[in-house]
Structure 1
């Protein structure tokens, strides 16, 4: 696995641990369809959160959330709708929300984590 992929996977693992500690139940990870991939799908109460995780070792190339531009946000909405179409029973009665988690630091397990709810 490439170093970039390992960093991303470690960041997603950290995001999952954070979400679980915050009362979310993780119901899917790295779900793929022809349009792309959803990093994390989580539920807390009546909210279904589709979560995009961005991990960086430093801010040298900008904040991780800057990578989520308008085009990427539209794509994430389409992916969320595709996930719901395949999993309607898990989405029934839930409010859909797109969140973003940014992780910045040399070691993802201890790096700074920022969770932005309703980010997109």
Structure 2
């Protein structure tokens, strides 16, 4: 379990670095409330993105992004509404992204950003 937590934290850091390099500001990391957690909230001048990060060491169970099920999408939308209700708007645009991080045991991490995927 500790390995999975460390792998997840590493993947989230890689995703945050990737989004920053793409010109986005990381507004929140691991925002929590009683209903769950949002991995990353990022924005640029035109959009606020709620980003789910999935990290794996291999594709034996599918690519990491495939782990974002319909139920997980629904939960993220609900959490996003709760986060937005706590903030000062106005909101120009929001979207829901997935960042898939593949960290092979003997190679470089592969990051795939899927903007507005759900």
TM-score by length of 1: 0.92
| SS of structure 1 residue aligned to 2:58 | coil
**Counterparts of 1:84 and 1:110 in 2: how far apart (Å)?**
35
- Is 1:12 aligned with 2:32? no
Q: Which runs of 4+ in 1 moved over 4 A?
A: none
**Counterparts of 1:7 and 1:93 in 2: how far apart (Å)?**
33
Partner of 1:101: 99
**Counterparts of 1:94 and 1:28 in 2: how far apart (Å)?**
18
Partner of 1:54: 54
Alpha-carbon shift at residue 93 of structure 1 (Å) = 3.0
**Counterparts of 1:43 and 1:110 in 2: how far apart (Å)?**
27
Partner of 1:42: 42
Question: Alignment RMSD, CA only?
Answer: 1.5
**Counterparts of 1:80 and 1:93 in 2: how far apart (Å)?**
12
Q: Which runs of 5+ in 1 are unaligned?
A: none
CA offsets 1:79-110 (integer angstroms, 9 cap, x no match): 110110112x1x42321100000011226x93
